[in-house]
Structure 1
């Protein structure tokens, strides 16, 4: 992988500052996604029937019986993503990647293809991380549409999931996601890896807060995150967790466009 350019480093610093600035406003004391939203838990979705083709695509893991957890990564691909994919492949762990378009999908198209080819779920984190609740409806559509089209071009499959930047969403975002065929996915655990480059601390924060049906939020663009992943995976496997993608976590039900899941 190429080393980070000066521009990439500047973007990472700005992203870190923006993420840190929203913690008080957007994260509850339990370190979950934005509070006050009407969200649906994975266990509620699993009561829904699913089409045979959908069930076959999601594989044999049955999270109604297994102790499942979903590992998710925001704001890639980055210069660290190839190493992350090597780790996930070696440990046989699927993940869900919420990708950014500008300077990420654009810069690393081969990694987007690899994510899909290796069985990970490829989803949207918008084109350039603008806060959707601050945009006009047509701007929201463009942030989502452009990312979806590029992912579809690279992987052959249009995303069905998105994660709003900083977890900020509202009724307008819900309605546009419904129109575009996208469900919104928040999280139950965050290591706040935008505040530290210490892999041991990132690992400890995840292991301390992980629970069944959890959705773990990490960012593979930060230097400390990918080195923390082996310890996170090993620690949770020792506790009996089975790693799944977000769609597998919801199966045999499916995420509905315009709904919010956590």
Structure 2
């Protein structure tokens, strides 16, 4: 007698489909640590740098910029200086650090966090381990030559990472930093739209992703800063957002 297969409950069926999809795509669940979790786990014995604010008490947010420096960075630095806002810059090496070394020095001198965004923006999950090392080492070396120390943070292009990337970042003393807010400023030059997208999505402990290489982004920054300050937010660098925790190499941080 032929047996009729029993039906899976909807929840179980969904779980199977998700598992199959992940297996077929080669993806795995990404384990991340929120800045608030890092702070809690550090207790009072952490070694992170507070700066001028304790984000356990204050309503903090971190403003980050990828893929610079560029011809727009001078204006951006002027705005940040005028508004007394620190930022975290994830810098590209090829055609950026090597083209605008004085801007890298200025970013550091004015209290911004300098971080690594690879040498040539290759997708790290698609290249071999030795190529990943080269993509991380070259900007590290260039940044150290300019400011006297190596970065402790990196952001993988397109946020794509995996266990191999984590392990190599650990070798290099780098923590991976993702984001919670993106304006998708690579899709538009409308500064008002970029500003609105950020304001609509920002919450406490958020990490905002912008790109100072795009024409519409820098003009949006004053409005973003002014409105978020009006809402009670305090701007900090990514390490300040985590304090008293210090970023752990090989760990992926995302709010």
TM-score after normalising by structure 1: 0.84
For residues 123 and 171 of structure 2, the distance between their equivalents in structure 1, rounded to whole angstroms, comes to: 19
The residue number in structure 2 matching 1:44 is 37
1:71 corresponds to which residue?
Answer: 63
CA distance in 1, matches of 2:198, 2:77: 19
Q: Distance in 2 between matches of 1:135 and 1:101?
A: 18
Cα drift, residue 60 of structure 1: 2.5
Aligned match of 1:29:
none
Deviations 1:36-88 (A, max 9, x none): 4110000011121323xx53xx4231000000000000000000000000000
Shift of 1:35: 9.2
Partner of 2:231: 239
- Alignment-derived partner of residue 124 in structure 1: 116
SS in 2 for 1:233: helix
Separation (CA, whole Å) in 2 of partners of 1:124 and 1:108: 15
Partners of 1:254 and 1:71 in 2: CA distance: 18
**Counterpart-to-counterpart distance in 1, 2:85 and 2:28:** 29
Paired residues, what number?
Answer: 225
**Structure 2 stretches lacking a partner, 5+ long:** 1-26
1:254 is aligned to 2:246: yes
Q: Which has more radius of gyration?
A: 2
CA distance in 1, matches of 2:30, 2:246: 20
Q: Name the SS for the 1:46 alignment partner.
A: helix
Any gaps of 5 or more consecutive residues in structure 1?
1-33
CA distance in 2, matches of 1:91, 1:59: 17
Mapped partners of 1:82, 1:155: distance in 2: 18
Match of 1:103 in 2: 95
| Cα distance in structure 2, aligned partners of 1:64 and 1:111 | 32
Aligned equivalents of 1:234, 1:91: Cα separation in 2: 8
